[in-house]
Amino acid sequence: MDTVLFEGGCVWDGTGAPAFPADVLIAGNRVAALPPRLGSRRQPARRIDVSGCTVIPGLVDGHAHLPFLHKADIAETGDVPPEEHTLETRRHARTVLEAGFTSCLSGGSAKPRLDVVIRNEIAAGHIPGPRILAAGPELTNTGNLGDERRMHIHRESIALIVDGVDEMLHTCRSLVREGVDTLKLNISGNQTIPGSRPQQTVMREDEVQAAAQTAHAHGKRIAAHVRAAASIKSALRHGVDILYHCEYADEECLDLLEAARDAIFVAPAVGLLHNTIYEAERWGITYEKAKANGVVDQFEQAQRVFAELRKRGVRVIVGGDYGFPWTPHGTNARDLEHFVRFFGYSDSEALVAATRTGAAAMMLDGQAGEVAEGFLADLLVVAGEPQKDVRLLQAPDNIKLVMKDGQIYKDLLSTES
Ligand SMILES: [Zn+2]
């Protein structure tokens, strides 16, 4: 069995405990031991000097869209043929892995089989990329987020349009047949849709119920875009597992989210909110425009809600809708800084959200998300102490080494020495 020893550095193990000096011995795809210092007692196949660095668990993006193509107008995504779309998604998978994300929980594929085929190719070892839990396209109603059609013209999009229980059942079962891990619903509207606003709950209760029952009947999970308070309550009533956004949560929602905290994961997808307001001017979205569209208000509401969910012990995961021109793939680690700046997390807490909590959301709790004996060898070697300053994770040069499943996918330490 291949053995690798990371020696001379510190370990931050993903539990939130302080870092400690230790070597890390990898055997095959697992962490075999964390000896204080292995020295010459045992001869691993390879020794890597990581002094000055911290070994941390691989990061997890809990709201990824690897098939998003950096389109300012997301409607153009539907114009891209499946072949080109697959190849570009494959490139994004590699970019995100090299940025330190060893797992991605998809918040929606852009075509039915894109996430699925990329997940399978990565899992088979044919292409580099993170572990993926694949979603289907977002399931949306006529006139809501992802419906790009008009009366006189058909247009494909990132979503599948379903109206009524029968269409929902047929579409959900088809996606399960095609191999998705997660079904994704758009229950509330969105700021980009004039007729379906973020504070409006547009998907009907019986549609949500039909989708959730179908997912769970097949042992799959269901995630939902829920900005409006009533949409959050609908999702919780029907056992939705992963709730995205949640900005307009009222007091009752906060209580319900807290009561369900051992069963659910919640993600603010804050990266897109932040960058739409402050970094999208090149694409015609000024601060004033973002304010007029309600995005500024949404961001303020997110700060209220997620500071509260942190205090209530709800499992919040990072992942900020990366894949727009102003949120490019590979910059996903910026989400951690947003947790610290806007939600009251300590740097260490934000890193736990991105590692141990993220691994639990990937259904890998007890197997990944920690640097500990017996855990999967998904880990990063980072220059400095990211648990004290998560901004360090944003500089590609600081991510010295990326290991996933015991394989090294990026190694600046060997090339620098
Ligand atoms: Zn999303």
Is pLDDT above 60 for 417? no
Residue 41 is predicted with a pLDDT of 66
Take residue 51 and report the two structure tokens written for it: 């002094």
- pLDDT grade for 220, boundaries at 50, 70 and 90: very high
Centroid of ligand 1 to alpha carbon of 353 (angstroms): 18
146-178 residue pLDDT tens? 999 999 999 999 999 999 999 999 999 999 999
Closest CA to 273 of 324, 314, 228: 324
- Measured between alpha carbons, how far is 183 from 272 in angstroms, rounded to an integer? 21
Looking at 55-193, list the stretches that DSSP marks H as alpha helix, in order from N- to C-terminal side: 82-98, 114-123, 165-178
Asked whether residue 313 carries a pLDDT value surpassing 60, the answer given is yes
Collect residues with CB below 5 Å from ion ligand 1. Answer: 107, 321
Q: How far, rounded to the nearest angstrom, does the alpha carbon of residue 409 sit from its chain's CA centroid?
A: 20
Distance 250 CA to ligand 1 centre (A): 22
Summarize the confidence of residues 400-413 as an average pLDDT: 97
Q: How far is the CA of 72 from the centre of ligand 1 (A)?
A: 14
pLDDT at 332: 98
The pLDDT tens digits of the residues spanning 183-209 come to 999 999 999 999 999 999 999 999 999
At residue 43, does pLDDT exceed 90? no
Q: Ligand 1 mean position to 299 CA, how many Å?
A: 15
Centre of ligand 1 to C-alpha 36, Å, is 42
At residue 205, the pLDDT reads 98
Please state, for a pLDDT cut of 90, what percent of the chain lies above it: 95
Per-residue pLDDT tens over the stretch 64-82: 999 999 999 999 999 999 9
| Average pLDDT estimate for 323-329 | 98
More confident residue, 406 or 37: 406
Whole-number pLDDT of residue 36: 82
Dist. CA 92–CA 96, nearest whole Å = 6
For 82-132, what is each residue's pLDDT tens digit?
A: 999 999 999 999 999 999 999 999 999 999 999 999 999 999 999 999 999
**Residue 24 φ then ψ, to 5°:** -130, 115
pTM of the model: 0.97
- Across the chain, what does the average pLDDT equal? 96
pLDDT band of residue 414 (cuts 50, 70, 90) is confident
Average pLDDT over residues 368-372: 98
Calculate mean pLDDT across residues 42-51. Answer: 90
The single-letter DSSP state of residue 136 is E
Hey, what are 131's tokens?
Answer: 């572990």
- Tokens linked to 28: 């095959």
Q: What is the mean pLDDT of residues 280-308?
A: 97
Residue 135: pLDDT over 70? yes
Cα-to-centroid distance, 63 and ligand 1 (Å): 6
Q: What number of other Cβ atoms are within 10 A of residue 217's Cβ?
A: 11
The alpha carbon of 246 and the centre of ligand 1 are apart by a number of angstroms equal to: 12
State the pLDDT confidence band at 275, using cuts at 50, 70 and 90. Answer: very high
